[in-house]
Structure 1
């Protein structure tokens, strides 16, 4: 009898203990899931996807809203089916916040192949393919491959083409000037396309120097159409010319005389005479430099469609061969040289005037 009574007491105590343990465990689980409930998610390491897109791709399945379990269960080294992503790494920032770090595949360029775009890294490894083009990755045309296998090096014809492509891609990223199109011709001459401007870089030489100048010049060509020539840029020559497309009528748009006059007056620094006294009509600046006579509406109108008269420092003299934006436009075709340098002008015209008159050449000085 006594033994039976002890057994009943033991069972009651056991139930009480188990009930207590269950309550403690339940309370612990409630605390665990409530205290470590994720309320904030940070994303880093990608410029290709939005934060919301990364969250949807990385946080799939159970326990993604728990800062402890999400780290343990959802960090993935190898990701399949997500273009340009190698893996997601999740770290806990605090009890209720996590950070998703995206490890992207670094594509330096893409080439057309059949009906797709093939993306490759700096080692020439085929890392991704897509039917749509990513505008953030330089697009190369003229790089030929016989076949492609993902994860293997592209069999690119021309041993130096890959090196050139990687160098160009690095420069584009550095200068934040990714062209719409990069083309290698059969002799591996390089041509870039920026909207309506084609940039002829020539051979794989002085690319850094050439692209630095391109970055400086392109803003000045806004709204224009034509070809920028940098094939001859080297250590000894910085000759850059712009072959402007003048359109079907073959002429530059009419010059707004009033605006041209205002610009000329604003940039004319004269008014001083030879003695250094200011007269308002003197043809010297305050430093005694000859800057030409004060521009008038008549003198500007007499220039016709010629937009020059400016010097390298942006000042207006009336005889400078640059326009107000620093573009080379040549000597004034409406007047003869006043300093008697007829031979020099004749030699210059023989080399360039035909191209400029017929094709619309502008040139750029060495300052670029």
Structure 2
């Protein structure tokens, strides 16, 4: 009787071990099949203005395992990833076993200044968010300002903190009216001058520049490739005449 119970006990243990083994084999087999069939074939990039789709893929897909959709998703979800210039973060979303969407969240940049042969990019609060040897064409170059120090991820140390509100107002208007402004220059008394190709635009010192920038949108197409100075310091909405002089 005792031997019979022992045999039944051993049989139960073997049965449980067999079930566990089959379950493990099923998990391993399923994982292998899933990984084998989840080869990355299509990448959709959204939210990237600084980089083309191809450039961003080169910066995101940096490991051999990134050729697998599941492993790529898990790496960006739970693993460590390298930083990308001008990018706050990147989210990976699986659309299916062979397709992912790369959602890009870019750092908010309002302007840049030159420093030690490179460029320091700052946000609306004057905090330096990126440094680079590259000058981005879509970010206005700010000149005429002096700073006590420049430290990455810290606010530019200047005696005129209100300057950042002025820069934000100007850059928002420039983007709104899609103007190709290369440089925003400040004089010691905070008067503003814009440079667009060969054209110099005098805006003077104001709280906001909405009226001037809106009218500038209409003026610039009338003077293509001309070396001019447009004096809009005293411009008011509805004004018919604006002084334009040849630049020396």
What TM bracket, shorter-length normalisation?
Answer: 0.7 to 0.9
Deviations 1:336-364 (A, max 9, x none): xxxxxxxxxxxxxxxxxxxxxxxxxxxxx
Map of 1:49 onto structure 2: 51
Structure showing greater radius of gyration is: 1
Shift of 1:126: 1.0
Q: Does 1:65 align with 2:67?
A: yes
Map of 1:343 onto structure 2: none
Shift of 1:115: 2.4
Instruction: Classify the secondary structure of the residue corresponding to 1:193.
Output: strand
* Contact persistence 1:75–1:90 (CA under 8 A): yes
Residue of structure 2 aligned with 1:212, choices 196, 211, 214 = 214
Residues of 2 paired with 1:81 and 1:98: CA distance?
A: 20
Residue of structure 2 aligned with 1:180, choices 179, 182, 190 = 182
Deviations 1:66-107 (A, max 9, x none): 333322222479865521112211111123211111121111
Instruction: Classify the secondary structure of the residue corresponding to 2:235.
Output: coil
Residues of 2 paired with 1:189 and 1:169: CA distance?
A: 16
Pair 1:206–1:238, CA change in 2 (3 A):
farther
Residue of structure 2 aligned with 1:168, choices 153, 170, 189 = 170
Residues of 2 paired with 1:109 and 1:190: CA distance?
A: 14
Residues of 2 paired with 1:20 and 1:76: CA distance?
A: 29
> Which residues of structure 1 form unaligned runs of 5+?
248-368
Higher RCO (CA < 8 A, seq sep 6+): 2
Shift of 1:13: 9.2
Aligned-residue CA RMSD (Å):
3.2
Instruction: Classify the secondary structure of the residue corresponding to 1:90.
Output: strand
Shift of 1:138: 0.8
Pair 1:207–1:26, CA change in 2 (3 A):
same
* Contact persistence 2:122–2:128 (CA under 8 A): yes
Deviations 1:46-71 (A, max 9, x none): 11112222222222335423333322
User: TM-score, normalised to structure 1's length?
Assistant: 0.58
* Contact persistence 1:59–1:74 (CA under 8 A): no
Map of 1:305 onto structure 2: none
Residues of 1 paired with 2:49 and 2:173: CA distance?
A: 18
Pair 1:26–1:170, CA change in 2 (3 A):
same
Residues of 2 paired with 1:82 and 1:52: CA distance?
A: 14
> Which residues of structure 2 form unaligned runs of 5+?
none
Residue of structure 1 aligned with 2:147, choices 142, 145, 148 = 145
Residues of 1 paired with 2:239 and 2:58: CA distance?
A: 54
Residues of 1 paired with 2:15 and 2:21: CA distance?
A: 10
Pair 1:77–1:13, CA change in 2 (3 A):
closer
